[in-house]
């Protein structure tokens, strides 16, 4: 089975396929997923996004209806481009005539904490592990404003596992991985699900 993630020297952590499939199954993104709306806050090269597109095209070929099905963000434009290429090739292989339109609608080079995120049934992914020391103080203050649970030692991964509950009003469920060394946060004391 092997380790669940591949850790790169740039500090990014890319999720292995078996972990992604397990998380998607556990979160209920299986079978006919055509009516679900899912957000991936930090897509990387598409470890979650690719399998989600595969599951979506296996459920339906109503391409127009897929416009609101997925949303993905990443702060690095090259990651978004790589993810777009992956999603486009899955759609094209499945016979989708509007593959480019769909991936442009789905994927955005933006900071997920500051982006306008649509209503969703599920938020899923492997969030960025960025310590607060490595975040510009002004940006950190802004993050703390939009994500009230990001207090004390909470790093960016904590924000991403909580922002879906605290700041995005209509998210039904979330499933995110967590760093194994913990975040030294007081989030649990202040976490009040809506
Ligand atoms: C831990 S990697 C995970 C990538 C992918 N979800 C996976 O499992 O392979 C985190 C990703 O978060 C992105 N990232 C970092 N800060 C971000 C932010 N504020 N908003 C959106 N994406 C961000 C990084 O560029 C990186 O691609």
- The enclosing domain of 71 has a CATH number of 3.40.50.150
Question: What is the predicted pLDDT for the residue at 2?
Answer: 55
The pLDDT of residue 66: 98
| Alpha-carbon span 91 to 147, nearest angstrom | 34
Residue 143 resides in a domain? no
Residue 184, Ramachandran bin (φ over 0: left; ψ between -120 and 50: alpha; else beta): left
Residue 65 CA, ligand 1 centroid: distance in Å: 27
Q: Is residue 158 part of a domain?
A: no
- CB-ligand 1 contact for 74 (6 Å cutoff): yes
d(CA 48, CA 42): 10
In a domain, 17, yes or no: yes
| Ligand 1 centroid – CA 8 distance (Å) | 12
Residue 163 lies in a domain: no
Structure-token pair, residue 142: 């802004």
| HSE (side-chain half, CA atoms, 13 Å) at 66 | 27
Number of domains in the chain: 1
Please report whether residue 86 resides in a domain: yes
pLDDT of 88-97, one tens digit each?
Answer: 999 999 999 9
Read off the pLDDT band of 137 (50, 70, 90).
confident
What does each C-alpha distance from 165 to 33, 66, 116, 194 come to in angstroms?
Answer: 22, 24, 15, 7
In a domain, 173, yes or no: yes
| Whole-number CA gyration radius for the chain | 16
Span from the CA of 43 to the centroid of ligand 1 (angstroms): 6
Identify the domain containing residue 95 by its residue range: 5-129+169-181
pLDDT > 70? residue 127: yes
Residue 146 lies in a domain: no
Indicate whether residue 126 lines ligand 1 (CB < 6 A): yes
pLDDT in tens, 17-66: 998 999 899 889 999 999 999 999 889 989 999 999 999 999 999 999 99
Distance 72 CA to ligand 1 centre (A): 10
Q: Which of 23, 128, 156, 168 to mutate to test the pocket of ligand 1 (most atoms within 8 A of CB)?
A: 128
Q: What percentage of residues in the chain have a pLDDT greater than 90?
A: 44
The answer to whether residue 20 sits within a structural domain is yes
**Number of C-beta neighbours around residue 145 at 10 A:** 11
Question: Distance between CA 164 and CA 114 in Å, rounded?
Answer: 12
């Amino acid at each position: 089975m092997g380790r669940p993630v591949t850790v790169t020297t740039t500090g990014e952590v890319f999720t292995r396929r078996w972990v992604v499939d397990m998380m998607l199954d556990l979160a209920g993104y299986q079978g006919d997923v055509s009516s679900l709306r899912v957000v991936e806050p930090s897509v990387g090269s598409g470890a979650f996004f690719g399998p989600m597109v595969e599951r979506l095209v296996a459920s339906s070929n109503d391409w127009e209806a897929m416009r609101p099905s997925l949303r993905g963000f990443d702060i690095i434009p090259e990651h978004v481009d790589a993810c777009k290429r992956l999603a486009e090739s899955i759609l094209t292989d499945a016979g989708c005539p509007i593959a480019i339109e769909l991936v442009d609608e789905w994927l955005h080079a933006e900071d997920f904490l500051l982006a306008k995120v649509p209503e969703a049934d599920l938020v899923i992914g492997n969030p960025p592990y960025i310590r607060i020391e490595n975040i510009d103080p002004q940006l950190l203050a802004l993050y703390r404003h939009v994500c009230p649970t990001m207090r004390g030692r909470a790093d960016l991964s904590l924000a991403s596992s909580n922002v879906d509950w605290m700041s995005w009003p209509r998210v039904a469920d979330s499933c995110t991985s967590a760093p194994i060394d913990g975040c030294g946060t007081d989030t649990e004391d202040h976490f009040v699900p809506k």
